[in-house]
Amino acid sequence: MDYRYLGNSGLKISEITYGNWLTHGSQVENETATQCVHAALDAGITSFDTADVYANTKAEQVLGDALKGQRRESLEIFTKVYWPTGPGGPNDTGLSRKHIMESINGSLTRLGTDYVDLYQAHRYDTETPLEETMQAFADIVRQGKALYIGVSEWTADQLRAGHALSKELGFQLISSQPQYSMLWRVIEDEVVPTSAELGISQIVWSPVAQGVLTGKYKPGAALPEGSRATDDKGGATFIKRFLRDDVLERVQQLTPVAQELDLSLAQLAVAWVLQNKNVAAALIGASRPEQVAENVKASGVVIPAELLERIDSILGDVVERDPAKTAEGAPQSRPV
């Protein structure tokens, strides 16, 4: 396992980071989830990402239980705040001071730790003054409940404004967590250059495009039973944009490139996002321990320039590059 600095900080994280969105507390049994976490630890993964909204707080509890007995100082634990949790009251959502201060306490209790290494704004809150949000984060850092602050799916302009306030308030905004893959490159034109300028790294989610880049979805074929595309708990919603025959045909054409590097298609996809110097880590999830062992083989892989060009040529116009998609996909009002 290779490790990278997160933003302009001294914090190192594993470039393959284990995330438990859509798995812990919902898709897989707790025993299997624990086995996956232990497989990640065995593979050298030290960084673990979750959020209070995942399975309505259950995922944090499962991860905390799975990490019991581990040396806390050897781990980097990340969680997030924004989406509705609990019974869904008027203040059970967003980035108000009230919700942030209450949410960090709940997350720490469920995770069984006194602090998280990274606390992230899961989206931008259009209904709370940014100054209020950043002041709450500053206080959490001063209280020792979070060491660093990050965000998820913020635009370049939102990153710039948040970074300026963090400097004024005396803490570091060091990370951004966007969707990024061979097929979804909307951060490349604006978010990545702005982040590089500000000293912010990307921790990217869905590097295998919800599983499409594994090659298991074939053009014209029925969806594999038990796959993400058939998951009615949320997975199917996110993957459907990629389930077009023109996309699936191009993905199949990537097989010779993966073979040339002695990688699976999934490993190629994870390795590809790590070629971007602004990416500190690729988030991987797992429903079986063997998946973790396979995905970590992408760590340390260098893809030659000529193969990167071939990948671009193969995928061509099925790649989504429009930077406006970040803002388009964001909530326009606080969710309930």
Q: Tell me the per-residue pLDDT of 220-279, one tens digit each, with 9 for 90 and over.
A: 776 776 656 556 665 567 788 899 999 999 999 999 999 999 999 999 999 999 999 999
Q: Indicate yes or no: pTM above 0.85.
A: yes
Structural tokens at position 335: 């969710």
**Residue 159 — pLDDT band, cuts 50, 70, 90?**
very high
| Distance separating alpha carbons of residues 336 and 299, to the nearest angstrom | 39
| 3-class secondary-structure state, position 50 | coil
**Residue 21, pLDDT above cutoff 90:** no
| Distance separating alpha carbons of residues 252 and 13, to the nearest angstrom | 32
**Catalytic (active-site) positions:** 54
Residue given tokens 């199949």 in the structure block: 252
Structural tokens at position 315: 């995928």
Give all domains of the chain, ordered by start, each with its CATH number: 3-328 (3.20.20.100)
| Distance separating alpha carbons of residues 102 and 316, to the nearest angstrom | 46
Residue given tokens 């990416």 in the structure block: 279
| Distance separating alpha carbons of residues 269 and 290, to the nearest angstrom | 17
Geometric angle at alpha carbon 143, from 140 and 147, rounded to 5°: 65
Bridge-partner residues for 16, per DSSP? 282
| Distance separating alpha carbons of residues 242 and 248, to the nearest angstrom | 8
| Distance separating alpha carbons of residues 295 and 263, to the nearest angstrom | 10
Residue 152: per-residue pLDDT: 98
